Amino acid sequence: MTKLMMITVSASALLLAACSAETTGDGEHTDTGVTQEAAMTMSDNVLLAEWTGPFQGTPNFDEATLGDLRAAIEEGIALSLTEIEAIANNPEPATFENTIVAMERAGQALGRAQSYRGIWSRNMSTQEFRDINGELAPMLSAYGSQITQNAALFARVQAVHDGDEMASLRPDQQRVVQLRYDGFARNGATLEGDAAARYAAINEELSGLHQTFANNVLNDESTYVTYLGADQLEGLSDGIIQAAAAAATERGRDGEYAITNTRSSMDPFLTYSENRALREQVWNTYYNRGDNGDAFDNNDLIRQILILRDERVALLGFDNYAQWRLGNRMAGTPERALELMEAVWPAAVARIGEEVADMQSMADAEGANITIAPWDYRFYAEKVRRDRYDLDSEEVRQYLQLDNLREAMFDVAGELFGFQFTALEDGTVPVWHEDVHVWEVTDRESGDHVGIWYLDPFARQGKRSGAWANSFRSHTTFDGQQNVLATNNSNFVAGAPGEPVLVSWSDAETFFHEFGHALHGLSSNVAYPTLNGGVRDYTEFQSQLLERWLLTDRVINNYLVHVETGEPIPAELVNRIRAAANFNQGFSTGEYLASALMDMRYHTMDPTDLDVDSFERETLEELGMPNEIVMRHRSTQFNHIFSSEGYATGYYGYMWADVLTSDAAQAFEEAPGGYYDPEVAARLVDNLFAPRNSIDPADAYRAFRGRDAEVSALMRDRGFPVPE
Model pLDDT for residues 199-236, shown as the tens digit of each residue: 999 999 999 999 999 999 999 999 999 999 999 999 99
Provide the pLDDT for residue 239.
Answer: 87
**Angstrom distance (rounded) from CA 460 to CA 125:** 10
Q: Describe the crossing of helices 299-315 and 612-623 by its angle, rounded to 10 degrees.
A: 80
111 close to 11: Cβ distance less than 8 angstroms: yes
Phi and psi of 151, rounded to 5°?
-60, -40
Q: What is the CATH number of the domain that holds 164?
A: 1.10.1370.40
Gyration radius of the chain over CA positions: 25
- Which candidate, 541, 627, 635, places its Cα nearest to that of 596? 635
Active-site residue, 724 included: no
Span 550-590, pLDDT tens digits = 999 999 999 999 999 999 999 999 999 998 888 999 999 99
Considering the domain architecture, whether residues 247 and 177 belong to the same structural domain is answered as no
Span 467-483, pLDDT tens digits = 999 999 999 999 999 99
Considering the domain architecture, whether residues 124 and 252 belong to the same structural domain is answered as no
Residue 474 lies in a domain: no
Residue 662 lies in a domain: yes
Residue 366 lies in a domain: yes
Provide the pLDDT for residue 556.
Answer: 95
Considering the domain architecture, whether residues 280 and 344 belong to the same structural domain is answered as no
Provide the pLDDT for residue 278.
Answer: 98
Residue ending a domain, choose from 194, 217, 240: 217
CB atoms within 10 A of CB 427: 9
Provide the pLDDT for residue 18.
Answer: 52
**Angstrom distance (rounded) from CA 547 to CA 511:** 8
Cα separation values, 677 from 246, 670, 684, Å = 44, 10, 10
**Angstrom distance (rounded) from CA 365 to CA 483:** 60
Q: Which domain holds residue 16?
A: 8-217
- Which candidate, 114, 105, 102, 36, places its Cα nearest to that of 72? 114
Provide the pLDDT for residue 519.
Answer: 98
Considering the domain architecture, whether residues 141 and 212 belong to the same structural domain is answered as yes
Considering the domain architecture, whether residues 211 and 265 belong to the same structural domain is answered as no
User: What length does the chain have?
Assistant: 724
Per DSSP, the residues of 344-364 read HHHHHHHHHHHHHHHHHHHHH
115 close to 60: Cβ distance less than 8 angstroms: no
656 close to 697: Cβ distance less than 8 angstroms: no
Considering the domain architecture, whether residues 349 and 268 belong to the same structural domain is answered as no
**Angstrom distance (rounded) from CA 23 to CA 236:** 44
**Angstrom distance (rounded) from CA 459 to CA 123:** 9
- Which candidate, 471, 472, 466, places its Cα nearest to that of 490? 466
Q: How many domains does the chain have?
A: 3
Residue ending a domain, choose from 189, 217, 245: 217
Q: What is the CATH number of the domain that holds 358?
A: 1.10.1370.10
Provide the pLDDT for residue 434.
Answer: 96
Q: Which residues contact 65 (CB under 8 A, 6 or more apart)?
A: 46
Residue 397 lies in a domain: no
**Angstrom distance (rounded) from CA 59 to CA 430:** 7
Q: Which residues contact 302 (CB under 8 A, 6 or more apart)?
A: 213, 602, 610, 612, 635, 636, 642
pTM of the full predicted structure?
0.84
533 close to 25: Cβ distance less than 8 angstroms: yes
Considering the domain architecture, whether residues 207 and 92 belong to the same structural domain is answered as yes
Considering the domain architecture, whether residues 137 and 235 belong to the same structural domain is answered as no
467 close to 2: Cβ distance less than 8 angstroms: yes
Provide the pLDDT for residue 49.
Answer: 96
Residue 669 lies in a domain: yes
Residue 457 lies in a domain: no
Q: 10-residue block means of pLDDT along the chain (724 residues)?
A: 37 51 32 37 86 96 96 97 97 98 97 97 94 92 92 97 98 97 91 93 94 94 95 94 93 96 93 98 97 97 98 96 93 94 95 97 96 98 92 92 98 98 97 98 97 96 91 96 97 87 93 97 97 89 96 96 95 92 93 97 96 97 97 96 93 94 96 97 97 95 95 91 78
**Angstrom distance (rounded) from CA 612 to CA 131:** 27
603 close to 321: Cβ distance less than 8 angstroms: yes
Cα separation values, 707 from 386, 682, 700, 701, 715, Å = 40, 17, 10, 8, 18
Q: Which residues contact 526 (CB under 8 A, 6 or more apart)?
A: 27, 172, 475, 476, 477, 532, 690, 691, 692, 693, 694
**Angstrom distance (rounded) from CA 527 to CA 405:** 33
263 close to 217: Cβ distance less than 8 angstroms: no
Provide the pLDDT for residue 41.
Answer: 54
CB atoms within 10 A of CB 367: 7
108 close to 33: Cβ distance less than 8 angstroms: yes
**Angstrom distance (rounded) from CA 7 to CA 694:** 18
β partners of residue 419: 443
Considering the domain architecture, whether residues 69 and 173 belong to the same structural domain is answered as yes
Considering the domain architecture, whether residues 238 and 169 belong to the same structural domain is answered as no
Q: Is 42 helix (H, G, I), strand (E, B) or coil?
A: coil
Q: Which of 22, 514, 540, 645 is catalytic?
A: 514
Residue 544 lies in a domain: no
Considering the domain architecture, whether residues 211 and 246 belong to the same structural domain is answered as no
**Angstrom distance (rounded) from CA 467 to CA 5:** 9
Residue 476 lies in a domain: no
Residue ending a domain, choose from 217, 233, 263: 217
**Angstrom distance (rounded) from CA 602 to CA 606:** 8
Provide the pLDDT for residue 264.
Answer: 85
Amino acid at 313: V
Provide the pLDDT for residue 10.
Answer: 43
Considering the domain architecture, whether residues 46 and 136 belong to the same structural domain is answered as yes
